[in-house]
Amino acid sequence: MIKMVIIIIDTIHNASWLPPIIILELKSKGNLEIREFDPEEDKDLVNSKTVGIYKLKATIVEIAHDKDSLHLVSHINVSEDIDKDDWYLFNDFLVQQISQEEVLSYRKWKIPSIVQYVRTNLHELLDCSVLPTTTDTSILVKESCLNRRKNIITTCEPFTKDEIPKKPGYMCAIDAEFVALNKEETEIRSDGTKSLIRPPRMGLARVSVLRGSGPKEIVPFIDDYISSSEMIVDYLTEYSGIKAGDLDPALSRHMLVPLKASYKKLRLLVDMGCIFIGHGLANDFRIINIYVPPEQIIDTVQIFFIKNRQRKISLRFLAWYLLKQDIQVETHDSIEDARTVIIFSINYNYIVIYIFLKLIYSCNIHINI
């Protein structure tokens, strides 16, 4: 593969143009031949398993105004139809349509740095009939863990096959806990103020998802502790409830799973159209690195918030004020937090809540919870 790329780059640098379509043909002795595609002579090779036909999709070009001034621009074929061309030039904030001739021609001051070719004859060689046509939901039904010790604490009850949501709109409560993989980097300025150079890097440590309806309402069906191969610099126990050893397969008594397995569960719930209710979900989903459409999120941080007030209300205070319950007394627990949010949705109409927001804010200021 490296040798093939070098051959292409050498060919480009020795010419004043780029071939719009190239052909890669594997010869009988294992040699790879690379040449420009000829529609007449090579038309019989389109369906050959030993031939790859690639069409130019994008280029990054180095523009040399002079020896000390170099600039990069890109050309991208934005057409989704493989048989059509629609080229655009991207030059910082300038975007304009250009001709294919301009893309393919090169001069001394215009040198290709990166070229991307996309294979066009792949669909003829693929048998898509063997691909699955339904979503595999088994990961929500069966549990698998990385723990080496016995007597694991079970804190959740996975879905049964009959409980798997059949249509979009199933509501579930979610809360996640995180640990610090890198501490923040700061510097002290000459005036004594602190400046943030690099924010801390966080990693997912635990995620809990609870049923939002049905006979087993508020019962967790996911409570994953995440096994991490990266070094943890701070467990943030006061805020996460995670202690040293909780994420170690040799020591932990909690259900440990790989990050990929937990991510697949969340991704599946998103694709199934589930609605997530939680407190501070925007930050949680950002750190988890998963996109959830806004219409699938009910965030109590935003619901219990007046825009002209800068302060947002904590879940602990809401539980004390609205439910007369004390949560997070000793440490944080993701199941407890998610269950509290579900109880909000069961017992309160969010439209009526706005009437009490000013009272809640005034009480919150005095008590400072």
- Domain end (from 78, 109, 128): 128
- Pair (121, 149) in one structural domain: no
Least reliable range by pLDDT among 8-12, 131-135, 283-287: 8-12
Residue 241's domain comprises: 138-367
In a domain, 133, yes or no: no
Give me the helices (H) in the chain, please. Answer: 2-13, 100-104, 237-240, 259-271, 281-288, 300-303, 315-322, 334-347, 350-367
CATH number at residue 16: 3.90.70.10
- Pair (117, 233) in one structural domain: no
- Pair (231, 356) in one structural domain: yes
Query: How many domains does one find in the chain?
Result: 2
In a domain, 236, yes or no: yes
- Pair (57, 16) in one structural domain: yes
CB-based burial label for 221 (10 Å; 0-12, 13-18, 19+): buried
- Pair (58, 37) in one structural domain: yes
CB-based burial label for 223 (10 Å; 0-12, 13-18, 19+): buried
pLDDT tens digits, 340-355: 998 887 776 554 555 5
In a domain, 306, yes or no: yes
In a domain, 52, yes or no: yes
- Rg of the chain over CA atoms, in angstroms? 28
CATH number at residue 339: 3.30.420.10
Q: What is the model's pTM? A: 0.66
- Domain end (from 104, 128, 152): 128
* Residues whose CB falls within 8 Å of the CB of residue 254, separated by 6 or more in sequence, listed in order: 147, 152, 153, 155, 206, 225, 246
- Pair (78, 203) in one structural domain: no
- Pair (285, 154) in one structural domain: yes
- Pair (122, 208) in one structural domain: no
Examine the pLDDT at 65 and tell me if it is beyond 80.
no
**Half-sphere exposure (Cβ direction) of 242: Cα atoms closer than 13 Å:** 27
- Pair (124, 142) in one structural domain: no
- Pair (236, 147) in one structural domain: yes
In a domain, 33, yes or no: yes
- Pair (124, 240) in one structural domain: no
pLDDT tens digits, 121-171: 777 667 777 888 888 899 999 888 888 888 888 899 999 999 999 999 999
- Minimal CA–CA distance to 236: which of 180, 275, 189, 281? 180
* Residues whose CB falls within 8 Å of the CB of residue 17, separated by 6 or more in sequence, listed in order: 104, 105, 106
- Pair (11, 85) in one structural domain: yes
At 116 the three-state DSSP class reads strand
- Domain end (from 128, 156, 182): 128
Write down the pLDDT at residue 357. Answer: 56
**Half-sphere exposure (Cβ direction) of 231: Cα atoms closer than 13 Å:** 3
